Amino acid sequence: MYKIAVFAFFSVFVFNSCNSEQEIPVDLIDTEEISITIDTLATGLENPWGMAFLPDGRILIAERPGRLRVFAMGELRDAPVQGIPEIWDHGQGGLLDVVLHPDYDENGWIYLAYASPYGEEEGTGNTSISRGKLTGNSFTEMELIFQGEPATSAGHHFGSRIVFDDDGYLFTTIGDRGVMNNAQTLENHNGKVLRIHDDGSVPADNPFVNVDGAKPEIWSYGHRNIQGMGLHPDTRQLWSHEHGPMGGDEINLVRRGLNYGWPEASYGVNYNGSIITEETSLPGMEDPILQWTPSIAPCGLAFVDSDRYPAWRGNMLVGALAGQHIHRVVFDGNEVTDTEYLLDGFARFRDVRQGPDGYIYVLTEAPGLFFRIIPWETE
């Protein structure tokens, strides 16, 4: 059942923060469960892709062309962080995700997922992970800990998100890099969820460590292009969503060693309308928990466990690029029971995160905004 929270301000892309506790804001938006307003924090971003919250209140924002920006004291600083790895601004690739180590207070590590130029031929590369420390406005002690293989000139489907689980394992994603059958072979990293230690080494219990020819970092396969991933706040299970082609976007519960079907099974078709596969489900392959046809082009994923949004607790929030909304997904266990469109028609939503203060923070492109969603008590 799909419900839409009607957004009546399609032509207005920047809202003033509501500082009054006495007056109902003029830009109040009613959703199915609560009323909300938008607190705009920064404008003028260029293809913002990911964000991370530092303990001192600063917020790091990754812009895809290759800038790591700092939001501090209510302002977006002009000068980007210096010393980050060389970024391959190529097609859909660039500077993608930014995530703190779970023990950041002790070790100071910051992780970047990005398109990296490398390979024997000029103009080739793939998704990489580096870590470093923020010293002043510089990225220092940088270490390259993972590089996806093979290098290719393709400009499509780089992934990529980073998630640490409760045991400190780092999960990341690479798309099929525009070659569908990459997702079904274990001989490359493309079309996969990958699991490594925080220093890039391979866990001995990864499912394909002892399989001849398989990349040992692979955790699951058969994925087209994952751009959203997160841990459920209660079960601590790893969830993801991924882009289908024309239709067939998916939400999946990501489990060890499983095959998620792409391109052997899919609800989508090629962009010219031709058939990729007649199958939507196959033995030995995982069916999606939810699929979107037509495509919404999902990007960014957050589970809500904040007391600021009690009616949304346990819900998944999915940013939608083509759909230009935030998709709220309600679960009963692992079954989807309801969905709702939030801020429909507002912008292309690139990332959604719950901050340490419990508020939901959002990045959009076209226009490039950074804002938070404020719940409003009307009674």
Q: What is the pLDDT of residues 164-176, one digit of tens each?
A: 999 999 999 999 9
Half-sphere exposure of 312 (CA within 13 A, CB side): 30
What is the identity of the amino acid at 235?
Answer: T
pLDDT digits (tens, 9 = 90+) for 132-150: 999 999 999 999 999 999 9
Of the candidates 6, 17, 8, 47, which has an alpha carbon nearest to the alpha carbon of residue 367? 47
- DSSP, collapsed to helix, strand or coil, labels residue 374 as strand
> How many other CB atoms are found less than 10 A from the CB of residue 85?
20
pLDDT digits (tens, 9 = 90+) for 243-282: 999 999 999 999 999 999 999 999 999 999 999 999 999 9
> How many other CB atoms are found less than 10 A from the CB of residue 159?
32
Looking at the whole model, is its pTM more than 0.75? Answer: yes
The residue-averaged pLDDT of 290-297 equals 98
According to the model, what pLDDT value does residue 23 have?
Answer: 62
Domains of the chain, residue spans = 2-376
CATH topology of domain 2-376: Neuraminidase (2.120.10)
pLDDT digits (tens, 9 = 90+) for 322-352: 999 999 999 999 999 999 999 999 999 999 9
Radius of gyration of the chain, Cα coordinates, nearest whole angstrom: 20
Of the candidates 199, 210, 133, 126, which has an alpha carbon nearest to the alpha carbon of residue 169? 199
At 299, give phi and psi (nearest 5°). -155, 125
- Please say if 157 is a catalytic residue: yes
**What gap in Å lies between CA 233 and CA 224, rounded to an integer?**
25
Which one of 90, 101, 156, 157 is the catalytic residue? 157
**What gap in Å lies between CA 63 and CA 126, rounded to an integer?**
18
- β 2-4/335-342 pair status: parallel
